[in-house]
Amino acid sequence: MTKTVEFLFDVGSPTSYLAYRRLPAVAARTGAHVDYIPVLLGGIMKATGNAPPGLVAARGRWMGIDMARYARREGIPLAMNPDFPINTITMMRLLTAARGTADFMPLLETLFVAMWQEPRNMADPAVLAATLAAAGFDPAVWHERANDAEVKAALIKATDYAISRGAFGAPTFFVGEEFFFGQDRLDWVEAALA
């Protein structure tokens, strides 16, 4: 029976991006299925009383250094976004609208690249629209999808699901009842899938 890893992420999280880059290899080695679940990191943090690492200056500096080390070790291109933190609600709604369709992975790739490889201010509607158009997505169609009441409700439901399972940040992974947090726990995720 194929095992599944649930990957709860927000494109505004650079550590979610780093995990996203490694997950396909983990899935290939274990034969596992990855269930990509867009969530609102801000909503999770607010509900759990968590705070972004950058609010503690020393922790923020360390995290930047640590992510750069991790990216170098794993051969992952990473450019810190000068507009970070970025409000990702529209992007996360877009991904929620695309979930379960053939557009999901190309859209996810487009958004992660725009956030963490070619860093753009993706909270700017014009920048988001131009990025979508350049990737072959009709910005008007996707804007309408992102504003659909059912899509908004689905994103809130996914975020509430994350909180109900104990998530306090992103990326979060579930393999059955096992909980893992952070891109640096992917080796443990892989062991749970083996």
Q: What is the pLDDT of residues 73-90, one digit of tens each?
A: 999 999 999 999 999 999
d(CA 98, CA 138): 13
pLDDT tens digits, residue range 21-45?
Answer: 999 999 999 999 999 999 999 999 9
**pTM of this prediction exceeds 0.75:** yes
pLDDT tens digits, residue range 113-167?
Answer: 999 999 999 999 999 999 999 999 999 999 999 999 999 999 999 999 999 999 9
Containing 4, the helix (H) or strand (E) segment is: strand 4-9
Report yes or no: 94 and 111 within 8 Å, Cβ to Cβ.
yes
CB atoms within 10 A of CB 136: 10
Q: Which residues pair with 34 in a beta bridge?
A: 5
CB atoms within 10 A of CB 186: 21
Please give the domain boundaries of the chain with CATH numbers for all domains. Answer: 4-193 (3.40.30.10)
d(CA 149, CA 123): 20
